[in-house]
Structure 1
Amino acid sequence: MTLEQLRIFVAVAEHMHVTRAAQALNLTQSAASAAIQALEARHATKLFHRVGRGIALTDAGTAFLPEARAVLARADLAERALNDLSALRRGSLALHASQTIANYWLPPLMHRFRTQHPGVLLDLTIGNTTQVAEAVTEGRADLGFAEGDLDLDLEGFEHSSVPGDRLVLVVGAGHPWAQERMIAPARFAESAWVLRERGSGTRQVFEAALGRLGVDSATLPVALELASNEAVRAAIEAGAGAGVLSSLAVESGLRFGTLLRLEPHFPARRFRVLRHPEHYRSKAVEAFLDVVGSV
């Protein structure tokens, strides 16, 4: 049984005439008749009485008609759903991102996307870089976003990079370094430090930068390791020590004077967009990548 056979059966039942039904469907009379005969033969059931030049539904045809209409209605809904998905009138997109990206960089892009495609639901999950990569690998994320300058194994990913942020050295207003502008890397061990947890992109990028400055990260007296940018920032503002965070994460603290930015300046870094190459690249994914590419 095919959808085409069902459409022909319903049309013939509604017109009570094979030729008129065929004309309505833009088919030949012989094609319409053959479809009805094939449907009857396949199920060994007569659907129409042939009375002279006319036809009438049998009891089986009468019982089958509402079922055929229901199937066609469901098929029409399915086709419309696919059309809506293709035209981005509906759908969903699962995004996974590391904290800095999820909390500061990604929300304006999500807003821009939703303004353009209000029918597409965006679901954002926040994790560290390792968790983001795992979500993309396992298919739980359509797109993953992580800090780009990392020792991240990109084999098995479709990936690209986009302009990101810059790590900055900050202290609270009451910190001993607050009156200085430049802190030589050799003095880093003089202060307690508040850092993101190991495995976070911010921590990995900071430790890599320390190596380039000739500083052994093991020599830093780390007072606190915290699992969110907000917690690190609050601890630094409270005087727990110096810290390094994304420029995006400290913007408000610098503006209101609760944080002070010191040199040395760290190089700009890029964010990495991850996708599994074997997973279906939907229209929603394409559209969101277009928004990201406009940054």
Structure 2
Amino acid sequence: MTLEQLRIFVCVAERLNMTRAAEALHITQSGVSASISALENTYGTALFDRVGRRIELSVAGQAFLVEAEKVLSQVRNAQRTLADLSNLRRGAVSISASQTIGNYWLPQIIAEFNTRFPHLGIELHMSNTAGVVRMVLEGEAELGFVEGSHADAALTGSDIDGDRLCVFVRPGHPWAEHPPGIEALARGGWVLREDGSGTRSEFVRALGSLGVDTSTLDVRLELPTNESVRSAVLAGVGPGAMSELVAREAEASGALVRVAIKLPRRAFRMLRHSERKLSRAAEMFVKSVPASRPARAPEIRLAANA
């Protein structure tokens, strides 16, 4: 049974005349008759009774007409949905983002996208970098935004505008006035995000590039969110590494002090599955994302021992 056979059957059932149905469908009368006969022969059921020179719906034909009209209505709805999706009149973008990006960087982009495409929805899920990678791999998100690196060949990525990781302490901490040396960095008593977070991995990588033996890094407290890291640093637990976006308000108010260690600017990374085609809505969202700015070389002056 094909959709074309259903359309022909419904057209004949509405007119109870093969000739008029053929004219409405712009096909030959023999084509209409052949289609009806094929349906009846395939299922061994007469859909029309031939009464003299007229045709009438049989009992089976009356029941089948109800179902055929339902199917054709669903097909029209599906066609409208595809047309709406293609023309961006409806649809949604499923996004997974690491916490720094999801809380501090994406909201403005989402707001601007919503203004341009008010009929499109945004489904935003937040996790750490490892969780974002998993969601994109498993098809739970079309797009992923992370700070950390990934090593899965099934994903393709592109660098986008990012931020800078910085070291922050509470006023009065020795590092607030005098930046630490390499050994002091290693034994700093850090407050950091958990393993698997992009902020943690990027910070450890940056310390390694400064000559710090990261295997001996003294981590006093591991926390699952940027906000909890910020709160712990504000409480004086120890120095913390966080995005300048996360600490912006606390730094502006003087509650946190940025330590004079200039770490490299980091690009964020936008991920997608290499074998899955993006929806039109997701394609438009990608075009709304700012491109990466060129990274500047870090300016770092550290004493060997401090």
* Residue identity matched to 2:267: R
The change in CA–CA distance for 1:235 and 1:55 in structure 2 (over 3 A counts) is same
Deviations 1:96-145 (A, max 9, x none): 22111111112222223333333433222222212222222222222221
CA distance in 2, matches of 1:40, 1:191: 83
Residue 256 of structure 1, aligned match among 230, 253, 275: 253
- Residue of structure 1 in register with 2:229 after alignment: 232
SS of the residue 2:88 aligns to: coil
Query: Normalising to structure 1: TM-score of the pair?
Result: 0.89
- Alpha-carbon deviation of 1:294? 5.9
CA distance in 2, matches of 1:87, 1:229: 38
CA distance in 2, matches of 1:54, 1:159: 66
SS of the residue 2:172 aligns to: coil
CA distance in 1, matches of 2:274, 2:218: 42
Residue 202 of structure 2, aligned match among 194, 201, 205: 205
CA distance in 2, matches of 1:173, 1:144: 36
Query: Normalising to structure 2: TM-score of the pair?
Result: 0.86
Please state if 1:243 is matched with 2:234: no
Q: How many residues align?
A: 292
- Aligned pairs for 1:255-294 (under 5 A) are 255-293=252-290
The share of aligned pairs that are identical, in percent, is: 50
* Residue identity matched to 1:200: S
Q: Structure 1 regions of 5+ residues with no counterpart?
A: none
Q: Which moved more, 1:106-115 or 1:29-38?
A: 106-115
The change in CA–CA distance for 1:160 and 1:294 in structure 2 (over 3 A counts) is closer
Q: Structure 2 regions of 5+ residues with no counterpart?
A: 293-306
- Alpha-carbon deviation of 1:188? 2.9
Equivalent pair of 1:174/1:239 in contact (CA under 8 Å): no
CA distance in 1, matches of 2:287, 2:14: 48
Equivalent pair of 1:136/1:274 in contact (CA under 8 Å): yes
CA distance in 2, matches of 1:92, 1:32: 41
- Residue of structure 2 in register with 1:105 after alignment: 105
- Alpha-carbon deviation of 1:198? 2.3
What RMSD in Å do the two structures reach over aligned CA positions? 2.3
- Residue of structure 2 in register with 1:20 after alignment: 20
Deviations 1:246-272 (A, max 9, x none): 111111111221111121211111111
SS of the residue 2:84 aligns to: helix
CA distance in 1, matches of 2:157, 2:57: 60
The change in CA–CA distance for 1:238 and 1:47 in structure 2 (over 3 A counts) is same
